[in-house]
């Protein structure tokens, strides 16, 4: 039985994770690092004599990179559910006969369910990274060796920079690349937008392999990843499925309840005075968040308010806002549709960002804290405003953290959640898995009212006299539970810890335990995971 | 193989519902099998509910399988009852969920009926949050949205919803089936908190009268206590011709609604966006309803994606004289309320008329005058209605402000 300790949030967490000593969570801002960043090995350009780094295929590239048992292989998730590369990479690794690799993706998606085969045959030991859908169910059932280590986008960059994770070989899927190794995300059949999630990998890995299906003559412009960081370039037939990387058009939700929640959130942002000339906000491309953006857009237009910047994920709607003068800049971490990709390529005010710029907690300042408001989802919230984004109330690990934790530092963090989903109450006495400390969450917007964190007296004062349906979280919880037929039974989990949630500073915030309920696992068997 | 019957729905796309199968257990012990998406949270609670429901139905000896996709208790009970009744057609026992105090409130005949939201009577997921979108009325539909094979199950489900679901102050309307089946709907549902019955495809006054008399019979036998109103729908040439007789058939009638889809078919026309084919019917319905002292209510706008079109159409109905329209999606409600909202100018004028009227009443004068002009009673009534519409907007404002003061 692994040794556990209670952290500052009252959660039992392991003191070692996958053999590495860890620090328990010490509160927001409680842990300060010391020492130096890690450094990748020194190289000379004399080792890359003619400037061409082409390798004949993945097997050759991996063996030239010195692939051996137990190594850490990293990848980025800009291709989302359309990634065709990692299957090829691990097939090549299996062909070379190596075992016990650690896969360190910036996120995994349902398309990666095929990699379960390599977990089963021992090629992969475990995955350190966000697990969406089928891989999460696999880990929840206790089938994965080693622990899933869940990190936010910012915390992943930080973990590499701080040396928590040493990347032996970084794989960079490049929609366009030249033979020198410059990589671009905005051209080619697998165009995906910026490549920021691969930045830490390129900067800090021992060995960097760029893989493309679209080799262009030098220079590959814009070079989102500089060839000076790249060891080898491999050309394969296909690296991505364009239809699953970005959608042609972003779908708008028709759900009246989601629309109602989004509208409440937008009215809140307007009525408390966050929406004012020069303000900034961030909202994702999920149903409710996207609807929020559209409601706010109309309100901005009506009031003649222009934002200083909007943080992407970009969609055609953000692009329209930029082009129609509703914001000076779009600062974009990932593009969700083709309009986002096009705008990033063609419009100098649409700027590619990466987790170092926007989220790295061990940096000299936090850009996420300069955003006036952020609108996020959650799987659960508790009465102290703590929130969960990775597990469901039945204990299944189904979602990654993404940039969720990083953005909590915005000046006003708004969670949009239904008060219950299909008889599952979302507001709990205690969240199943703690991902976001309540002190950072200002507002919870549900279809049955808006709850303001009592810590935010400024916001409570700002809503006085407004027509917004302000209620307490306790009240909304009681109403939802009455509808659902009483408070839900306490969750019975297994003892075994199958994963940990790290905080943005690398300390351990909570543990994810094995799901033992046969019914839950059986139901999850046929289920498709949703992308976070 | 033993006799079996089923009710409800299952499958990947199903939410907030369940599928139930009951079966004669034969000589063996009855088996209860439960599969639920919320087993981890409500598995025990579902098992208890299944046992108590079967027991109250006198069906402890049946085997039961349930596949639950997050159904609320009122739905689980309704699905079990429907399945048992299908297996045992002579079983007359029912299982009534406890009445939710939040679902008990009165309506009134003069209430504003700008928006009425249609909810298919077989789809519980649409019931649960319908009231949050603020419709003036919700219509739990047993008629066109329910396939013939589901009429029995829908009636049970709607009955349970009337008792347990809070529609947050919306008038609770049930659209019954065409008579004579509709009379069975009335008998089954009138005791469970219905405010208003909508009667479809009415062509003669005696159809409405039959419903009215049945409700009065139920009242005399103590099964109905509160007021129950009637809202006939005119959907045919004959109905339009007889509209005044229909609207004035009984004292419990509060409005007259026009159903355009069937009406246009009946007269051999096609329904168009401009609606010229139904102008005459609209005029007839408005005049008949006003002459009978009830509210004329317009049809529905079918393109749920077109908010602007909806706004213009609803506005046009209001200018014609209708008091409200039907909604087929919750997002239409706000738009309809905007379209029916009085303008500042109208409110100001109405305020002057109403205060002049009150002043005249207080001073015992029979004549009301504003700026030297005589004001007739219908103008006063209209002004009072405009003031009520205006108040409905401010009331929401005031309520929310109070809530905000006490976080």
CB burial of residue B362 (10 Å; 0-12, 13-18, 19+): exposed
Would you call A489 and B37 a contact, using CB atoms and an 8 Å cutoff? no
Chain A contact present for B32, CB below 8 A = no
CB A242 within 8 Å of CB A79: no
CB A190 within 8 Å of CB A79: yes
Q: ipTM score of the complex?
A: 0.89
Would you call B404 and A257 a contact, using CB atoms and an 8 Å cutoff? no
pLDDT band for B199, please (50, 70, 90 cuts). very high
Instruction: Please give the radius of gyration of chain A, using alpha carbons only, rounded to the nearest integer.
Output: 23
Would you call B404 and A468 a contact, using CB atoms and an 8 Å cutoff? yes
Structure tokens at A227: 């060839």
**Residue range B22-30: average pLDDT?**
89
pLDDT value at residue A248: 65
pLDDT band for B1, please (50, 70, 90 cuts). low
Identify the CA nearest to B375 among candidates B384, B390, B272.
Answer: B384
Average confidence score pLDDT of chain B: 92
Site of tokens 């129609």: A324
Identify the CA nearest to B73 among candidates B46, B54, B39.
Answer: B46
Nearest CA in chain B to A452: B407
Quick: pLDDT tens for B82-103.
999 999 999 999 999 999 999 9
Whole-angstrom distance, CA of residue B179 vs CA of residue B185 = 9
Structure tokens at A439: 């002190």
Range A298-305, long-range pairs (CB < 8 A, 24+ positions) = A299/A266, A299/A267, A299/A270, A299/A275, A300/A275, A300/A326, A301/A326, A303/A270, A303/A275, A305/A275, A305/A276, A305/A277, A305/A279
pLDDT value at residue A508: 98
- The secondary structure of B281-329 as a DSSP string is HHHHHHHHHHHHTSEEEEEE---TT-HHHHHHHHHHHHHHT--EEEESS
Chain A contact present for B63, CB below 8 A = no
Most A CBs within 10 A among B76, B404, B406, hence the mutation to make, goes to: B404
Chain A contact present for B52, CB below 8 A = no
Cβ burial A363-390 (10 Å sphere, 16+ → b, else e): beebbbeebbbbbbbbbbbbbbbbbbbb
Q: Does residue B365 carry a pLDDT above 80?
A: no
What is the nearest CA distance from A268 to chain B, expressed in angstroms? 12
Q: Which residues pair with B175 in a beta bridge?
A: B141, B198
**Residue range B134-160: average pLDDT?**
97
What is the nearest CA distance from A152 to chain B, expressed in angstroms? 28
SS3 assignment, position A271:
helix
Would you call A470 and B400 a contact, using CB atoms and an 8 Å cutoff? yes
Structure tokens at B162: 């009337």
Contacts of B397 in chain A (CB under 8 A): 467
Chain A contact present for B145, CB below 8 A = no
pLDDT value at residue A528: 38
Whole-angstrom distance, CA of residue A328 vs CA of residue A332 = 13
Nearest CA in chain A to B98: A485
Q: Which CATH class is domain B101-339?
A: alpha beta
Q: Where are the domains of chain B?
A: 4-87, 101-339, 344-405
Contacts of A467 in chain B (CB under 8 A): 396-397, 400-401
Going from the first residue of chain A to its last (532 residues), give the mean pLDDT of each consecutive group of 10, the final group possibly shorter: 92 96 97 96 93 96 97 95 96 97 94 95 94 90 94 97 97 98 95 93 98 97 96 97 79 90 97 98 88 96 97 92 97 90 94 92 96 96 97 93 96 97 95 98 98 98 94 97 95 92 98 91 61 32
- What does DSSP assign to residue B1? -
SS3 assignment, position A185:
coil
Whole-angstrom distance, CA of residue B304 vs CA of residue B328 = 8
Would you call A466 and B401 a contact, using CB atoms and an 8 Å cutoff? yes
**Residue range B150-165: average pLDDT?**
98
**Residue range B147-162: average pLDDT?**
98
Most A CBs within 10 A among B38, B52, B73, B399, hence the mutation to make, goes to: B38
Helix (H) or strand (E) holding B354: helix B344-362
């Amino acid at each position: 039985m692994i040794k556990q300790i209670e952290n500052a949030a009252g959660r039992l967490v392991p003191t070692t994770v996958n053999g590495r000593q860890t620090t328990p969570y010490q509160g927001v801002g409680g842990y300060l690092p010391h020492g130096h960043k890690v450094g990748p090995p020194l190289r000379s350009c004399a080792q890359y004599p003619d400037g061409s780094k082409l390798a004949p295929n993945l097997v050759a590239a991996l063996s030239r990179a010195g692939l051996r048992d137990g190594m850490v292989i990293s990848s980025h998730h800009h291709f989302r559910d359309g990634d065709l590369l990692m299957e090829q990479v691990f097939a090549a690794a299996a062909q070379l006969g190596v075992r016990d690799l650690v896969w360190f993706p910036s996120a995994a998606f349902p398309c990666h369910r095929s990699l379960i085969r390599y977990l089963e045959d021992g090629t992969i030991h475990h995955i350190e990274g966000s697990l969406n859908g089928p891989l999460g169910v696999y880990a929840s059932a206790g089938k994965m060796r080693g622990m899933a280590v869940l990190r936010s986008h910012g915390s992943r960059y930080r973990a590499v920079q701080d040396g928590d994770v040493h990347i032996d070989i970084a794989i960079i899927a490049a929609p366009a690349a030249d033979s020198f190794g410059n990589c671009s995300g905005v051209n080619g059949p697998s165009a995906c937008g910026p490549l920021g999630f691969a930045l830490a990998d390129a900067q800090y890995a021992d060995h960097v392999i760029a893989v493309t299906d679209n080799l262009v003559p030098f220079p590959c412009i814009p070079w989102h990843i500089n060839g000076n960081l790249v060891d080898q370039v491999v050309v394969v037939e296909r690296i991505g499925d364009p239809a699953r990387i970005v959608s042609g058009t972003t779908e708008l939700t028709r759900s009246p309840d989601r629309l109602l929640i989004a509208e409440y959130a937008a009215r809140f942002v307007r009525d408390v005075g966050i929406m004012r000339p020069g303000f900034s906000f961030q909202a994702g491309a999920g149903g409710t968040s996207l609807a929020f953006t559209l409601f706010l857009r109309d309100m901005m237009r009506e009031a003649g308010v222009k934002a200083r910047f909007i943080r992407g994920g970009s969609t055609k709607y953000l692009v329209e806002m930029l082009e129609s003068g509703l914001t000076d800049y779009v600062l974009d971490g990932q593009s969700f549709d083709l309009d986002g990709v096009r705008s990033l390529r063609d419009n100098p005010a649409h700027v590619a960002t990466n987790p170092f710029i926007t989220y790295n907690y061990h940096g000299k300042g936090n850009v996420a804290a300069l955003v006036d408001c952020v609108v996020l989802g959650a799987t659960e919230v508790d009465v102290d405003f703590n929130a969960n984004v990775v597990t469901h109330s039945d204990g299944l690990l189904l979602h990654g953290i993404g940039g969720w934790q990083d953005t909590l530092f915005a000046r006003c963090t708004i969670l949009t959640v239904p008060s219950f989903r299909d008889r599952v109450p979302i507001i709990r006495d205690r969240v199943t898995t703690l991902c976001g400390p309540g002190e950072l969450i200002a507002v919870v917007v549900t279809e049955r009212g808006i709850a303001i964190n009592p810590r935010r007296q400024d916001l409570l004062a700002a809503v006085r006299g407004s027509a917004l349906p302000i209620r307490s979280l306790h009240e909304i919880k009681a109403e939802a539970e009455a509808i659902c037929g009483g408070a839900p039974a306490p969750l019975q989990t297994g003892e075994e810890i199958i994963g940990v949630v790290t905080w943005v500073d690398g300390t351990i915030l909570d543990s994810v335990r094995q799901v033992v309920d046969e019914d839950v696992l059986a139901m999850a068997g046929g289920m498709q995971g949703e992308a976070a | 193989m033993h006799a079996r019957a089923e009710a409800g729905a299952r499958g990947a796309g199903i939410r907030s519902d369940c599928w139930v199968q009951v079966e004669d257990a034969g000589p063996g012990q009855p088996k209860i099998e439960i599969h639920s998406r919320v087993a981890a949270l409500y598995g025990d609670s579902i098992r208890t509910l299944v046992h108590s429901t079967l027991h109250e139905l006198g069906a402890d000896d049946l085997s039961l399988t349930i596949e639950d996709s997050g159904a609320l208790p009122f739905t689980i009970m309704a699905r079990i009852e429907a399945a048992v009744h299908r297996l045992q057609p002579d079983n007359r026992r029912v299982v009534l969920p406890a009445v939710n105090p939040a679902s008990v409130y009165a309506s009134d005949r003069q209430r504003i009926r700008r928006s009425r939201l249609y909810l298919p009577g077989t789809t519980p997921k649409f019931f649960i949050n319908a009231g949050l979108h603020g419709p003036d009325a919700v219509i739990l539909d047993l008629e066109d949205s329910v396939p013939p094979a589901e009429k029995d199950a829908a009636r049970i489900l709607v009955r349970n919803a009337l008792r347990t679901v809070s529609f947050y102050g919306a008038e609770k309307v049930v659209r019954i089936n065409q008579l004579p089946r509709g009379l069975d709907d009335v008998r089954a549902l009138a005791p469970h908190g219905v405010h208003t019955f909508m009667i479809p495809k009415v062509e003669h006054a005696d159809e409405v009268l039959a419903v009215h008399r049945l409700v009065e019979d139920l009242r005399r036998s103590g099964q109905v206590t509160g007021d129950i109103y009637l809202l006939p729908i005119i959907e045919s040439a004959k109905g339009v011709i007889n509209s005044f007789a229909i609207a004035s058939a009984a004292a419990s009638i509060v409005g007259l609604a026009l159903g355009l889809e069937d009406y246009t078919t009946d007269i051999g026309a096609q329904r168009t966006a401009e609606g010229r084919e139904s102008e005459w019917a609209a005029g007839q319905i408005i005049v008949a309803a006003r002459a009978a002292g009830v509210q004329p209510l317009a049809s529905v706008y079918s393109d749920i994606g077109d908010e602007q079109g909806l706004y213009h159409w609803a506005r046009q109905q209001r200018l014609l004289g209708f008091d409200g329209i039907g909604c087929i999606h919750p997002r239409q409600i706000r738009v309809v309320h905007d379209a029916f909202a009085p303008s500042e100018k109208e409110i100001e004028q109405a305020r002057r008329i109403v205060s002049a009227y009150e002043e005249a009443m207080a001073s015992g004068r029979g004549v009301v005058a504003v700026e030297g002009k005589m004001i007739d009673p219908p103008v006063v009534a209209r002004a009072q209605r405009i003031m009520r519409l205006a108040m409905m907007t401010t009331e929401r404002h005031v309520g929310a402000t109070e809530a905000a003061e006490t976080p």
